[in-house]
Amino acid sequence: MSNLERLREVLREQEVNVALLSHFGRVAWVSGYAAFIEKGADPFAGGPPMAVLSADDSALVAASGVPANRLQRMLTYAGYEYQQPIDPSANWRQAILEALEQMGASAAAIGFDADSTPAYLLDSARAQFPRAQFRDIGPAVDSLRVSKTVAELAYLRAACALCDVGQQTARTVAKPGATEIGVYSAVHAALEEAAKARVPLGADVVSGERTLDMGGDATGRALRVGDLLMADIHPRHPNGYWGDSCATFVVGGPPSPEQHQAQQVLWEALQRGRDLLKPGIKASQVDAIVRGSLNAHGYDYPHHSGHGLGTTHFERPFIMPWNNELLAEDMVVALEPGIYQAGIGGIRLEWAFRVTPTGGEPLTRFSLSIE
């Protein structure tokens, strides 16, 4: 069953006639369209891409046609004209209102994303459809997004394969004298060559004493013999799904005994968390096991133990002490315990897993060796 069909089932259950999605992760999930994010907002767009759907119709409203749209129609609007002035925002708003009208929103229950629908669009919709009821469906859509379909798992495997490429590249180019930004640039180039397309990349590439900060943007700092290098890279595959990964290793020399021990403790914690990634287990239980595995050796870390992956880089289930959400089969979770201690440095390990009845199935395979 496609994501569009799954969403329509939920809308019928909630007696919502027409849905208007604006959150970029939800739009990508239902339509397959992932907006390019590295250049910021499209200067020729009047507003964000929006998915509009009903029981028997669906459309993506965007400034230009996109090949990945899995909805029934593509609706564009005038966002650029050099011979006369135009109002892209008004054109974008009008295209959405017309799509809602065509799908019967006049006297319907309209589902929308309360956390991301622009106020000026919502005000216009309420004015045009005064008899309609407006209901927040964002949480319902996110509940569908948590467990992945077979197609989504394939997309995530491809995204995680990019992580493997990136981590191997980082190890290859991280030599004494290289810079953090040089490592980042080489990783980014390798990912785009592997994907044969532009790849948005988030990354923490930090070295030496900067690893104690747990992450940060790459700088011109030159790597020295014996430095730790932490490479936490999270690329978005051209298919719209994100991978995530982290490896920490010593540049140009062997680790200290303390660093080697810390890496072994983290590896053990990661494996204990992996074994627990089964349906019916609470996210908080996974956090407690992973965190407790480090606590037993006198270590701790001031952040989450993991998070979900999908059309957003950080999504449910959140592996945190407060979260009692039950894991379900085919969730995809990245676990990332860390140790940050003076005299050792900052070390974090992160692999992505699929939740299965027998424990986490690794989706990433890159080396986590500290050497």
Q: Select from 157, 159, 146, 142 the least CA-distant residue to 331.
A: 146
Cα 211–Cα 348–Cα 174 angle in degrees, nearest 5: 60
3-state SS string over the chain?
CCHHHHHHHHHHHCCCCEEEECCHHHHHHHHCCCCCCCCCCCCCCCCCCEEEEECCCEEEECCCCCCCCCCCEEECCCCCCCCCCCCHHHHHHHHHHHHHHHCCHHHCEEEECCCCCCHHHHHHHHHHCCCCEEEECHHHHHHHHHCCCHHHHHHHHHHHHHHHHHHHHHHHHCCCCCEHHHHHHHHHHHHHHHHCCCCCEEEEEEEHHHHHHCCCCCCCCECCCCCEEEEEEEEECCCCCECCEEEEEECCCCCCHHHHHHHHHHHHHHHHHHHHCCCCCEHHHHHHHHHHHHHCCCCCCCCCCEEECCCCCCEEEEECCCCCCECCCCCEEEECCEEEECCCEEEECEEEEECCCCCCEECCCCCCCCC
Report the pLDDT value the prediction gives residue 274, as an integer from 0 to 100: 98
Report the pLDDT value the prediction gives residue 29, as an integer from 0 to 100: 97
Report the pLDDT value the prediction gives residue 77, as an integer from 0 to 100: 94
Block means of pLDDT (10 residues each) for the chain, 371 residues, are 94 94 96 78 86 95 83 93 94 97 93 96 96 96 97 98 98 98 98 96 97 97 98 97 98 96 98 98 98 97 98 97 98 98 97 98 97 92
- The reported pTM is 0.95
Q: In the Cβ-directed half-sphere of 132, how many Cα atoms lie within 13 Å?
A: 26
Report the pLDDT value the prediction gives residue 38, as an integer from 0 to 100: 66
Report the pLDDT value the prediction gives residue 39, as an integer from 0 to 100: 60
Task: Give the tens place of pLDDT for each residue, 220-257.
Answer: 999 999 999 999 999 999 999 999 999 999 999 999 99
Q: Please give the mean pLDDT across all residues of the chain.
A: 95
Task: Give the tens place of pLDDT for each residue, 46-99.
Answer: 999 999 999 999 999 998 877 778 999 999 999 989 999 999 999 999 999 999
* Full set of structural domains in the chain with CATH: 3-145 (3.40.350.10), 150-362 (3.90.230.10)
